[in-house]
Amino acid sequence: MDLNEAIQGCISNDRRAQEWLYTTYFPVMLPLCRRFATDEDALITYINDGFMKVFKNIQSLKDVEKLVPWMKKIIYHAICDNLRKEKKKVRLLEIGDNDKKQIPDALNHLYEEDILALIEQIPNASAEVFVLYAIHGYTHREISNLKHISEGTSKWHYSEARKRLQSLLTQQHNQTVHAG
């Protein structure tokens, strides 16, 4: 089965086509769901609910070439719906291992809303790329297609956002240390 055939089958509610799309793109969508899941049950719920929404809305896909970013967006919204149901308004945002070397230990785990408030202080283009890459799990290629920029520009914006965020985190940490 090829991709176009699978999409047409999903539009027709063909279970074989849905199974093909699910098994083909499950490994691609898993990292996005894993970022938000607190356990295996939540992970399975997020990915299955996400794929159900993909199947329900597949007729709205306008460009087969953009299937993966479109699916990530649908699945991300399904995850958000689940998080709202679970009333998980406050979550921790883990900072990656590479960043831990550059950020004080006290800042390794911050509330998501605190990080998002800092991200709002970063220039819009860089902040958008940072959120797409670091939080939503898009690749630089997918971001370049979404934002109509080159992959190199996407990487530059991500790097700039990280530098600005690290600087803001360090400033926040220093203010906290000196205030206490």
Give the domain ranges of the chain.
3-85, 92-179
pLDDT at 167: 87
pLDDT at 147: 83
- Does 5 score more than 80 pLDDT? yes
pLDDT at 46: 92
CATH class as words, domain 92-179: mainly alpha
By C-alpha distance, which of 74, 49, 58 is closest to 21? 58
- Does 85 score more than 80 pLDDT? no
Highest mean pLDDT of the ranges 40-44, 83-87, 98-102, 143-147: 40-44
Residue 166 CB coordination number (10 Å): 16
If you average pLDDT over residues 41-59, what whole number do you get? 94
Lowest mean pLDDT among 33-47, 49-63, 93-107, 133-147: 93-107
- Domain boundaries 3-85, corresponding CATH code: 1.10.1740.10
